[in-house]
Amino acid sequence: MARLKWRIIGMLLVVLGFLIGLQSPAMASSLNFETSRIYGERQIDTAIAVSQTGWQHADTVLLANCDHFPDALVAAPLSHQLDAPVLLTPVGGVDPRVMDEIHRLGAQKVILLGGVAALSPQVETDIQKSGLPQPERIWGQDQYETAQKVAERIGVKGQVILANGEQFPDALAISAYAGVTETPILLTRAKAMPEATQQELNTLQQSGDLNTIVIGGEAVVSAATLNGLSNVQRIAGNDRYETAADVYDFARDDLTATTMYMVTGENFPDALAAGALAAKQHAGIVMTQKTTLPGPTYSVLSRPTESPLSVVIIGGTGAVTDQVIGMLEGTVQPSSLLAGVTIVVDPGHGGPDTGAIGPSGTYEKNNTLAVGLNLANDLRSAGARVILTRSTDVSPATGTYSELSDLQARTKLANDQKADLYISLHNDSFSNPSSSGTTTYYSSASSVASQSKALAASIQSELVKQIGLPSRGVKDEPFYVIKNTKMPAVLVEIGFISNPNEEKLLGSADFQRKTALGIYQGVLKFKGY
């Protein structure tokens, strides 16, 4: 009897510990990467180390100014095309170590990137004195014209990349993709398109269909600069780190190596030559702060992969500290609030299913998508891995559409990905146009009903605080997507699209951002923050 008593007590303690664990705040799951560095004392030496890592021999070498970042960053596609490393040197002449590397490679040709203001005539003299022929020079009056000339040298095949020419992060983030696809990088100012870039874009559009991939948000490439471009795809996050993470996602099909390169987002010189090496190895690039992994970067790194990844840091501890290495290897816990947490954001309806329609003809599916995209950005900024059931006006269902197949596709995605949370977004509707307010639903039929109810309560309270609509409370309903998901799941009815006043709010960009923020704060509250 005593033995049975202690067994029962032990079982109760295990169960209690399990339940406490379910309710405890989320902690970032540790990473477990193999890490290494490529670095030198100066950016010149780092570029040499990059060259030594990637090339045993090269017929051609690209040479750029070590202090003027645009010329080196637009070089990645040309580097890939010619299988030529990018080396760096001061404006006044060729650094002796750089000359030694050129000879180690057995190069027979040097191409200078930039005019005499970037690489003086002495650079040409030094190269010829070393026994090499007169170098080719690709240049323009400024970085914008030089980028345009590099693009001409590469040749454009229906696609170009457009990035800010006054800041380095976005061009660096896309450099590996640009290299492996040999897509030229053109540069622009934030508020005005330089003449050389505009002329090149005009010429390319006149010669046929042109796809322009814009890197960065409105602050670095404004919509006004894109007037006249017909096929534009913008890749942008809330900051340089989220933009780099979004670029990494965009390029994953082309950058398939199990090695990933990590570069600084704060002090660029060490990373100037990284794009050329990453492109040669079909490896992705992610971006970090000096002393910590930003949330979006941690989110990218924490995703499960088919093959283990190693991370190679470009630059010494002055660019990326050993604390970041500790985070990558799992010995140091990152501070990102939701690092290691996978959240499915489900904008309701889409494709042939408009959802509810407001009195003035607005569609529920458009409102929920806008909120979902904003919410995804907020969650990623806190380090969460976010999976959207849809990011455009499509249904996630495959084959012939039906409401059931659509709902099944959404729940299957969440269950297959073993998500930690599921949030479905909707607009309410009722025959009485005065019906008003916000409701958050959970399902008592769910296998994790108590956690779903707690999540619903946290989101409801924070969302109502943020958007100010009347609270209709937390309610229990066996909606398919929250009943059949295996993780804490809620369905949020943000407001009544059938109410003329709320219809206007639900379609407002400002209200949509506030809605996303309120739900995000509810997630943090649920996680104990």
Residues 6 or more apart from 327 whose CB is under 8 A from it?
A: 31, 292, 293, 298, 333, 334
Residue 325 sits in the same domain as residue 348: no
Residue 41 sits in the same domain as residue 86: yes
If you average pLDDT over every residue of the chain, what do you get? 91
In a domain, 17, yes or no: no
Residue 147 sits in the same domain as residue 295: yes
User: Residue 179 pLDDT > 70, yes or no?
Assistant: yes
In a domain, 467, yes or no: yes
Please state, in angstroms and rounded to a whole number, the distance separating the CA atoms of residues 271 and 168: 10
Average pLDDT of span 303-319:
82
Please state, in angstroms and rounded to a whole number, the distance separating the CA atoms of residues 92 and 526: 59
In a domain, 1, yes or no: no
Residue 120 sits in the same domain as residue 143: yes
Q: What pLDDT digit, counting tens, does each position of 369-392 carry?
A: 999 999 998 898 888 889 999 999
Residue 261 sits in the same domain as residue 292: yes
What confidence score (pLDDT) does residue 208 get?
84
Residue with the two structure tokens 């059938």:
498
Residue 359 sits in the same domain as residue 303: no
pLDDT confidence band for 16 (50 / 70 / 90): very low
In a domain, 177, yes or no: yes
User: Residue 14 pLDDT > 60, yes or no?
Assistant: no
pLDDT confidence band for 303 (50 / 70 / 90): low
Residue 116 sits in the same domain as residue 231: yes
Tell which of 305, 329, 353 closes a domain.
Answer: 329
Please state, in angstroms and rounded to a whole number, the distance separating the CA atoms of residues 139 and 518: 51
Residues 6 or more apart from 176 whose CB is under 8 A from it?
A: 76, 251, 255, 261, 274, 275, 278, 279, 283, 284, 285
In a domain, 25, yes or no: no
391 contacts 373 by C-beta, under 8 angstroms = yes
Tell which of 306, 329, 352 closes a domain.
Answer: 329
**Percentage, residues of the chain above pLDDT 70:** 92
Residue 124 in tokens: 């040409």
When comparing pLDDT for 300 and 248, which is higher? 248
Please state, in angstroms and rounded to a whole number, the distance separating the CA atoms of residues 506 and 492: 13
Residue 265 sits in the same domain as residue 352: no
User: Residue 411 pLDDT > 60, yes or no?
Assistant: yes
User: Residue 28 pLDDT > 50, yes or no?
Assistant: no
> Which has the minimum average pLDDT: 89-93, 238-242, 453-457?
238-242
Tell which of 275, 296, 329 closes a domain.
Answer: 329
> Crossing angle for the helix pair 240-251 and 364-381, nearest 10 degrees?
110
Q: What pLDDT digit, counting tens, does each position of 426-462 carry?
A: 999 999 999 999 999 999 999 999 999 999 999 999 9
Q: What pLDDT digit, counting tens, does each position of 159-170 carry?
A: 999 999 999 999
Decide the pairing of beta strands 284-288 and 310-314.
unpaired
**Nearest of 31, 496, 21, 11 to residue 293 by alpha carbon:** 31
Please state, in angstroms and rounded to a whole number, the distance separating the CA atoms of residues 269 and 42: 9
In a domain, 18, yes or no: no
**Percentage, residues of the chain above pLDDT 90:** 78
- Is residue 385 helix, strand or coil? strand
Q: Other CB atoms closer than 10 Å to residue 387's CB: what's the count? A: 19
Residue 358 sits in the same domain as residue 312: no
Give 211: exposed, middle or buried? Use CB within 10 Å, 0-12, 13-18, 19+.
Answer: middle
Please state, in angstroms and rounded to a whole number, the distance separating the CA atoms of residues 84 and 9: 69
In a domain, 12, yes or no: no
Please state, in angstroms and rounded to a whole number, the distance separating the CA atoms of residues 206 and 80: 27
Residue 350 Cα distances to 113, 159, 378, 423, 497, angstroms? 48, 29, 22, 16, 16
User: Residue 27 pLDDT > 60, yes or no?
Assistant: no
In a domain, 334, yes or no: no
What confidence score (pLDDT) does residue 306 get?
59
- DSSP structural state of residue 88: E
Question: How many independent structural domains does the chain possess?
Answer: 2
**Between vectors from CA 166 to CA 164 and to CA 167, what angle results, nearest 5°?**
75
Residue 239 in tokens: 């900051």
Residue 264 sits in the same domain as residue 135: yes
Segments forming the whole domain that contains residue 185: 34-329
Residues paired with residue 493 on neighbouring β-strands, in sequence order: 426, 439
Residue 308 sits in the same domain as residue 385: no
User: Residue 24 pLDDT > 70, yes or no?
Assistant: no
**CB neighbour burial string for 68-102, b if at least 16 within 10 angstroms, e if fewer:** bbbbbbbbbbbbbebebbbbbbbbebbbebbbebb
Residue 185 sits in the same domain as residue 39: yes
Region for residue 282 given its phi and psi (left: phi exceeds 0; alpha: psi -120 to 50; beta: otherwise): left
pLDDT confidence band for 9 (50 / 70 / 90): very low
**Nearest of 374, 385, 378 to residue 419 by alpha carbon:** 385
Residues paired with residue 342 on neighbouring β-strands, in sequence order: 385
